[in-house]
Amino acid sequence: MTPAARQIVFENVSKFYGEVLGVNKVSFSLAPGITSLVGPNGSGKTTLMNLLTGLIRPSQGAIYVLGLTPQQPIEFFRQVGYCTQFDSFPPGTTGYDFIYWPLRLHGFGRDQAAKLTNEALERAGMAQVARRKVAGYSKGMRQRIRLAQAIAHHPSVLVLDEPLNGLDPMARAESIALFEAIAKQGMHVIISSHILEEVDRISDRVVLMSSGYVVAEGQIREVRKEVHDHPMQILVRCSNAARLAAAAFELDHVVEAKILNDGHGVLVRTRDPEQFYLLLNKIVSGGLVEVDAVAPADDDVNSIYQYLIGSDGGPA
């Protein structure tokens, strides 16, 4: 399989709803793993997912998913599962039927479809209530039954629009574990979420969106390095904070070195973290300071999100 045949590719994709911009000139390619779409309300995340799955068509540009397009629905939708944000279901359907009949449309026989249905229900933790009508489900159960339908046919690309909405902490943890397990099998998992801490923890890469534009895309730490306007913050827990702060101040690229309130650490803001780490090595090897922990303080999605989009990552 060629690399392009394993990737999701957006080529200069734009979508306009009349005169309203959905997304504009989006180009990127995604390798297998977990990719998070992050951005405020109306930034174009759902539009991007709907474009990816063919629910809407691009005004210009092209999209390829594992070398396929939605114009080849039989091949395409065997590879793709999409859990949308639409909280609506066919009237009168039960949880079991909601998964079983789409599997039959995939071409699975009765037994195989039943087996896959039960497996998906188990994985989503919905086996006990599968024979009940979906109309009687709680919001979290409806979310999970949609997730179960999206994963039932073992897709290579799983697209999830706000999949953690409405889930209790236990279900949320289970869902995240499920996404990680799917990604570990070499599949694509594309998630939009406004719960940035969780996205940050599980994502291999992020696509940051604002007002229909992709403002940054790539591995979180790589994206952070590209944000030159905001010096990187590094937290050092150490024994002699004043000494470290003084040494740090002598470096040109350090713009701030703040001793922590408890006196046992320094928060450094630097434009060149590599140079700072070299300095830190020197100081530690010279025995001047005993370091307990060193950690970047703002290379998470939330910080990058704030720097690039100027928002606190409220509901997306």
Q: Rule CB under 8 A: which residues touch another protein?
A: 17, 50, 53-57, 73-78, 80, 82, 84, 86, 88-93, 101-102, 104-107
Pick the closer one to another protein by CB: 110 or 201.
110
Pick the closer one to another protein by CB: 81 or 125.
81
Would you tell me how many other CB atoms lie within 10 Å of the CB of residue 33? Answer: 17
Pick the closer one to another protein by CB: 85 or 302.
85
Pick the closer one to another protein by CB: 64 or 76.
76
Pick the closer one to another protein by CB: 104 or 258.
104
Shortest distance, position 56 Cβ to another protein, whole Å: 4
Would you tell me how many other CB atoms lie within 10 Å of the CB of residue 77? Answer: 19
- Nearby residues of 71 by Cβ (< 8 Å), 6 or more positions away: 54
Q: Position 146: which residue type? A: R
Between β-strands 80-83 and 232-238, what pairing exists: parallel, antiparallel or unpaired? unpaired
Residues 224 and 210: their CA atoms lie apart, in Å, by 17
Between β-strands 157-161 and 33-38, what pairing exists: parallel, antiparallel or unpaired? unpaired
Pick the closer one to another protein by CB: 82 or 137.
82
Residues 256 and 207: their CA atoms lie apart, in Å, by 29
Pick the closer one to another protein by CB: 75 or 122.
75
Shortest distance, position 158 Cβ to another protein, whole Å: 12
Shortest distance, position 70 Cβ to another protein, whole Å: 9
Residues 143 and 36: their CA atoms lie apart, in Å, by 18
Shortest distance, position 313 Cβ to another protein, whole Å: 24
Shortest distance, position 81 Cβ to another protein, whole Å: 8
Shortest distance, position 291 Cβ to another protein, whole Å: 52
Concatenating the DSSP letter of every residue in 145-167 gives HHHHHHHTT--SEEEEESTTTT-
Q: Are 254 and 293 in contact (CB under 8 A)?
A: no
Pick the closer one to another protein by CB: 33 or 42.
42
Pick the closer one to another protein by CB: 3 or 90.
90
Shortest distance, position 167 Cβ to another protein, whole Å: 21
Shortest distance, position 87 Cβ to another protein, whole Å: 8
Shortest distance, position 218 Cβ to another protein, whole Å: 29
